[in-house]
Amino acid sequence: MPIREIDSRKLTWLAALCAGLVLLYALSPVLTPFFLAGILAYVCQPMVLWLGRRRVPRSLAVCLVMLLEALVLALFALTVLPLFVQEIAQLARELPAFLDRANATIAPWLKEHAGMNIRLDSASLRDSIATSLQASDGLGMKLLASLRIGGLGLIGVFATAVLVPVVQFYLMRDWEPMLGRIDSLVPRGWHARVIAFVREANQALAQYLHGQVLVILVMSIFYTLGLWLTGLEFFLPIGIITGVLVFVPYVGAATGFVLATLAAAMQFPDWAGVAWVWVVFVLGQAIEGNFITPKLVGERIGLHPVAVIFALLAFGQIFGFVGLLLALPASAVLLVALRHVRAKYVNSTFYSGS
């Protein structure tokens, strides 16, 4: 085959790839419900297959799995969110008392050992909080007024909430036929290599996503129970937030650690209670890093924590909310592609010099 024809074909595929990326960027707001539905369908698909092997009709199996998913989301919305709002209000009420205690204990220590004369004005803080609470009386009217400006945004949120389960249902019901149609479109000369790559990427992605869901559940239970045993009043929202954010290495634990430390410092009269909260987070990090994550997720993907954080920031900056949904799955697939590129490069004559 002439060199010009080969170069022309490569340029055509490169142009098609660039056009696809530009189109994906332009349509990212519209594609949000489809990407979210696709991720949910991919994660829940093993449960549908498990029910199918027990002779449950496909549509019924999909409905049962989506009902379980809706129950979990409803349980979270009806228990955690109201409690979180209530405890935030309680935290605001207890903050002035904490500042008074800090002025009596921490401020003298800083002045004696560091020469820093710091005085926290709790009276001004009380006035600011009282003013904010009084101003919240008109919050409902402000929200109603804002709906006139952001009505289209509200309609978009509602449409997304309705569209996601509909798209997820059809994706989960027609999963195998859709994969078969995509397989039939792959050029036969590339079919073996494409199928091998897809299988490896699917194995890595499935191991990461399904394992990470289990890690989130286990660590949410661990942090919630551990903080409850310490007597922390805000144990439920902090434990769940820490567990849910555990998919971002160090960020979830650091966020939960800061929240729990602040809550403990305001609640407990001495530092012993704060120390027990720290023990929970130290044990949580040790258990997750040495046992839970290696056992449930493994090191198949090999995404470095810095790479995970960079992927979240980069994809979020470029594609917004859709980018946050795609960051880690796309990074896992990209890493598999880079392995193939590296293997091809190492076996090339350019690398060997021959």
* CA–CA distances in Å: residue 193 to residues 94, 185, 199, 301, 349: 62, 14, 10, 20, 21
* CA–CA distances in Å: residue 73 to residues 42, 66, 69, 77, 159: 17, 10, 6, 6, 18
pLDDT digits (tens, 9 = 90+) for 99-148: 666 666 666 766 666 666 666 555 555 565 556 545 544 444 444 444 44
Sign of the Cα torsion 337, 340, 343, 349 reads: negative
pLDDT bucket at 11, cuts 50 / 70 / 90: confident
User: Do residues 331 and 311 lie in contact, with contact meaning Cβ atoms separated by under 8 Å?
Assistant: yes
**What average pLDDT does the chain have?**
75
**pLDDT the model gives residue 298:** 56
* Angle between helices 122-135 and 58-113 in degrees, nearest 10: 150
For the chain, what is the radius of gyration of the CA atoms? 26
**pLDDT the model gives residue 144:** 45
pTM for this entry: 0.64
Q: Which of 70, 56, 62 is nearest to 173 (CA)?
A: 62
Q: Which of 158, 205, 170, 165 is nearest to 73 (CA)?
A: 165
